[in-house]
Amino acid sequence: MRSYSKEKLHYIINRWLNIRIPPPYGLAFRKNYVEHQEPDSIILRNKNGRIVFSPMAPGIYRVYLRSIYEKETLLENNSLTIDLSNENRAGWRLKTTKNTGEFAYMLSNGLEARLLVDLIDGTLSFLIGSDLLMVQPVSPQTTKDWLLIEKHFSWPGGVKVFGLGENTPPMNKAGQTVIMWNTFPVIYTTGANPLYQSWPVAIIQCVDGPCIGLVFDSPSYSLFRFSKNGKRMKYAVRNTDLSYFILLGPTLPNLMRQLASLTGTLPPLPKWTLGYQQSRWGYKSSSRVREIAAEFRKRDIPCDVIYLDIDYMDRYKCFTWGEAFSDHEELLRELHSQGFKVVAILDPGLKVEPGYFPCETGIKQKVFTVKPGGGYVTKNVWAGPSYFPDFVNPCVGEWWGELVKAFVESGVDGMWCDMNEPTTFDLRGTLPPNAIHKASDMKTLPHRLVHNAYGYLMSKATYEGLKKTTDMPFVITRSTYLGGQKYAVTWTGDNVSNWKHFRASIPMILNLGLSGQPIVGSDIGGYQGTPSPKLY
């Protein structure tokens, strides 16, 4: 009988609980009729669902699909990351025949982009000038739980696929399967998939030709499969409600501007965030932090920031200081006088403990994620049994922001969001898929539909809390979602101090940049192990 290490066995069980294989096919969105048409949009209806085709903004086109199985719609008129009210259809033109709708837009290179909708089959083709770049060989399809979309890229030359966020090499994702399901992989290896973040942005670069983009806005479980030559893409999402966007390019700089227009840009950061930032788990007392700071100055090594990991807390309880940091206010003053800024870690899990202020106020204000049968979801993390804020609930961000504001008034300069995939210390490793989030007074959503956005929403709430104390907040987050650059920078998680991970960090950082996150770093010294002087 094959034996596994404890870590390997946990990894296998975790994947068995979380990883999903989509069906090969479903019910087709075909035999459509035009339910509604406006001067610049078309709505198709068929017995299995509906499709909305409409321009979103200059160079950006939107397709929305909703299946007959969808009961908890999230994305038709709403998005957790994209402002759908910010439509600007200037420059777009629509003309229709009996069976075709043609959306046209003049690109910056003087060529006309055309998106042709087959009104009967609900398929979409994309041309620039006379070049056919993308076709949809089959109608969108649905099952009770999934939406399935297939695209073929018709450029006669080579095609390369970039973006797709935080993934290990190769940088070109042709021939790869990429899963979107925010996960704590416990010291990941190169080739591990999925990781901590989800950026469903596929950049299709035609060799010696145009560049186009596809952005899929669903925080549910999803995956991309690309053929070896990059010319065929299958996308499956475990949801029956989806918006996706086509970025017309036609060059990579054009496409990056379109992506920034769609998902937002990074706000200004304080200058000190551009310097060297020292972060290492294991500084268990204020005296150890002082020793580290003194050695940097003694050795004349430039350093602008020192991070405080979970050991600064009282028994790992967020928004507290432990006995070994009882002089934290004095420590922060000393570090500031020496030219250091301080960034402290925060986890979403809050210890269940009478008298613990965040827990008690959270219970009073009903801010925690609940179980279907009632009662709060309780999972073990660093502090032990903990509750998890329901960041999907708009009211929770304000409560969390006030906790952040009060905490940083002691002198902390920035916040570090960790464990926010969210991660738990059980075999599933995250919240139950049927845990309930309150999207509004009238609507609840199961966790599986919003999982990938949990870290994004935590970093947003943290950013807005810091905004109460400074004009330029600094938040760094381990987990986030499409558009997360609006609130936090990020890093590539728990890497290993070896040459393989060092090489892997370069395409990881580049693809995150191409997905919309312009400020990314890797743990230079490695989370695990100690680098050789040459490697460091």
Catalytic residues: 418, 421, 494
SS3 223: strand
Place of tokens 């409409």: 54
- CA 438, distance to chain mean position in Å, is 20
d(C-alpha 462, C-alpha 233), whole Å: 36
520, 348, 466, 524: CA torsion to nearest 10: -30
Does 185 sit behind a cis peptide bond, omega within 30 degrees of 0 on the bond before it? no
Which tokens in the block code for residue 77?
């008129």
Pairing state of beta strands 414-417 and 341-346? parallel
What is the DSSP secondary structure assignment for residue 252, as one 8-state letter?
A: H
Distance of CA 405 to the CA centre of its chain: 24
Residues composing the chain: 536
Q: In the structure encoding, which two tokens stand for residue 216, read together?
A: 């899929």
Rg (CA), the chain: 24
Alpha carbon distance 213, 252 (integer Å): 9
Neighbours of 3 (CB within 10 A): 6
CA 418, 420, 426, 428 torsion: positive or negative?
Answer: negative
Residue carrying structure tokens 């918006």: 243
Burial of 293 (0-12, 13-18, 19+ CB in 10 A): buried
Q: Which amino acid is at 503?
A: R
The phi and psi torsions of 215 (rounded to 5 degrees) equal -120, 120
Give dist(CA 434, CA 440) in Å, integer: 17
Tokens of 294: 């003194």
CA 144 from centroid of its chain's CA atoms: 25
User: Bridge-partner residues for 61, per DSSP?
Assistant: 55, 246
114 with 104: CB under 8 angstroms? yes
Number of helices followed by number of strands (H, E) in the chain = 9, 31
Q: Are strands 112-118 and 100-106 parallel, antiparallel or unpaired?
A: antiparallel
- What is the DSSP-derived secondary structure letter of residue 21? P
